[in-house]
């Protein structure tokens, strides 16, 4: 899938995929509330798509299937206030990870990095799964 945020506008449809509260392969739908929500000097996409614990780190897609952000957090003091890191910042981090202190040999880095495949091809799709029933 491609990665884009350039044409994203408030009101555009988005959907998030993740494992909220351990519920695997959950999809939530919403809209972009704003492209530029600032917290502590950082810019986030704000969405009303349901973002819950377990969604963090999952993709936020536009309706074309392009990744526009990486879900990050939700406001616990309100409803329908989800946030995602805009994909342009994720791309910048990946291009310049050495400058951010990236060291893939450091087991204490707190994350694991793998080179992303160009394409994902499922080896087996169970006919009883959501994906199988939808014809994937």
Q: What's the whole-number mean pLDDT along residues 72-91?
A: 86
Return the DSSP state at 123.
S
Q: Residue 3 above 60 pLDDT?
A: no
Provide the mean pLDDT of the chain. Answer: 79
What whole-number distance in Å separates Cα of residue 118 and Cα of residue 22?
Answer: 27
pLDDT tier at 90 (50, 70, 90 boundaries)?
A: confident
What whole-number distance in Å separates Cα of residue 104 and Cα of residue 29?
Answer: 34
What is the per-residue pLDDT for 9?
Answer: 92
Q: What's the whole-number mean pLDDT along residues 78-96?
A: 86
Q: CA angle 15-19-22, nearest 5°?
A: 150
pLDDT digits (tens, 9 = 90+) for 58-81: 999 999 889 999 999 878 777 888
What pTM was computed for the model?
0.69
Q: Which token pair is 12?
A: 């555009």
Structural domains of the chain ordered from first start: 1-97 (2.40.10.10)
Q: Look at residues 44, 51, 54 and name the one whose alpha carbon lies nearest to residue 8.
A: 44
């Amino acid at each position: 899938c491609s990665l884009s945020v350039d044409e994203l506008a408030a009101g555009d449809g988005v959907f998030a995929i993740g494992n909220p509260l351990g519920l695997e392969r959950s999809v939530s739908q919403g809209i972009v509330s704003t492209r530029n929500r600032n917290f502590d000097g950082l810019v986030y996409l704000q969405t009303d798509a349901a973002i819950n614990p377990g969604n963090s780190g999952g993709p936020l897609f536009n309706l074309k299937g392009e990744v526009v952000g990486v879900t990050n957090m939700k406001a616990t003091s309100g409803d329908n206030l989800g946030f995602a890191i805009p994909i342009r910042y994720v791309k910048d981090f990946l291009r310049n990870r050495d400058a951010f202190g990236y060291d893939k040999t450091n087991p204490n880095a707190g994350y694991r990095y793998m080179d992303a495949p160009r394409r994902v091809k499922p080896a087996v799709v169970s006919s009883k799964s959501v994906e199988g029933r939808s014809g994937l």
